[in-house]
Structure 1
Amino acid sequence: MRHLVVPFALNALRRGRSIEQFLGAAGTPEAPGIRWAELRPTAEGFALVVHLAQDIGGEGSYDLVEFPSFEREDGEEDFGCQIAVVDEPLAALTIAEKRLGAGRDRWVNQGMAGDEYRDYVRAGRPPCLSASQSEAECPET
């Protein structure tokens, strides 16, 4: 079983382990991309980070952290955008659901979101797997 049941996801976070979730398509037809969420324990609590990368992979290339990111308007590469930091792991799951359309039953251990991407490729790259594409935008700082 690839997906973590909620108690296992919460325990992973409490033990200092990150969890991930592949969110699906992003970008445009001219510049296709993908998104995935990461919940990571930090000194401040539990951070929700969304990653956006160019969709350059396939069935034989699915290590998401190796995919090139899109350049931001300032010319810098985007290595993830921290959306929120909360005190409790369950609150982190809830924020991910509300802000990114993440499914509570779709979290995987760190490094396993690439397997979800491979399934996405095999399914023909459907246009949207998550409920909210627009919420992935980083707030202006």
Structure 2
Amino acid sequence: MRYLLRSFAAGALRRGKGIEQLLSGFEEEGRRGIRYACIWPANRHRGFVVRVHVVEEVAGLPVDEFGAFYEDEYGDGAETVGETESAEEAITLAERELGADPGRWVNEGVLGDEYHDFAARGRRLGRWEPV
């Protein structure tokens, strides 16, 4: 089973592991991109960081190597949405601010499989709704 129950997603975060979620596909000025959310344990304090990545699809590259869709300081297309004290608060923040689906979080490293399914189903624009 690819998707984590909310309690398992929070547990992964508390154990120091990140979670991710493919949010949507979009097109702008003839370029294709995706948005995905990540939640990671914060390095500088006891808490969690919620980020959204907006990246350009590049054929032949793994999703974690896609570059920023818009110019940014680091070229990774990531923007911090917020930081929280608890894993549960971080998941709630991503759901509220990014429209993340509570039933579609995956462990760090599984986003590539999710993107593969997205691509196999025609890379539809808009919110990613796996079958």
What TM-score does the superposition give when structure 1 sets the normalisation length?
0.81
- Cα deviation for residue 93 of structure 1 reads 0.8
Question: Would the aligned equivalents of 2:57 and 2:63 in 1 still touch at CA under 8 Å?
Answer: no
Aligned residues: 126
Cross-structure match for 1:120: 118
Contact 1:62 1:115 in 2 (8 A): no
Which one-letter code corresponds to 1:50 in the other structure?
V
Per-residue deviation at 1:79? Answer: 4.1
**Greater share of residues in strand:** 2
Q: Percent identity?
A: 37
- In the TM superposition, 1:46-125 aligns within 5 A as 46-57=48-59, 61=60, 63-72=62-71, 77-125=75-123
Equivalent position of 1:134 in the other structure: none
2:88 alignment partner, SS class: helix
Q: Which amino acid aligns with 1:9?
A: A
Shift of 1:75: 7.3
Alignment CA distance shift 1:76-1:46 (3 Å): closer
Looking at structure 2, the residues matched to 51 and 125 of structure 1 have their Cα atoms a distance apart, in angstroms, of 17
The letter of the residue matching 1:122 is A
Find runs of 4+ consecutive structure 1 residues off by over 4 angstroms: none
Q: 2:14 corresponds to which residue? A: 14
- Give 1:7 shift: 1.3
Letter in 1 for 2:6: V
Structure 2 spans left out of the alignment, 5+ residues: none
Describe the shift of the 1:82–1:75 C-alpha distance in structure 2 as closer, same or farther (beyond 3 A): closer
Partners of 1:128 and 1:13 lie apart in 2 by 28
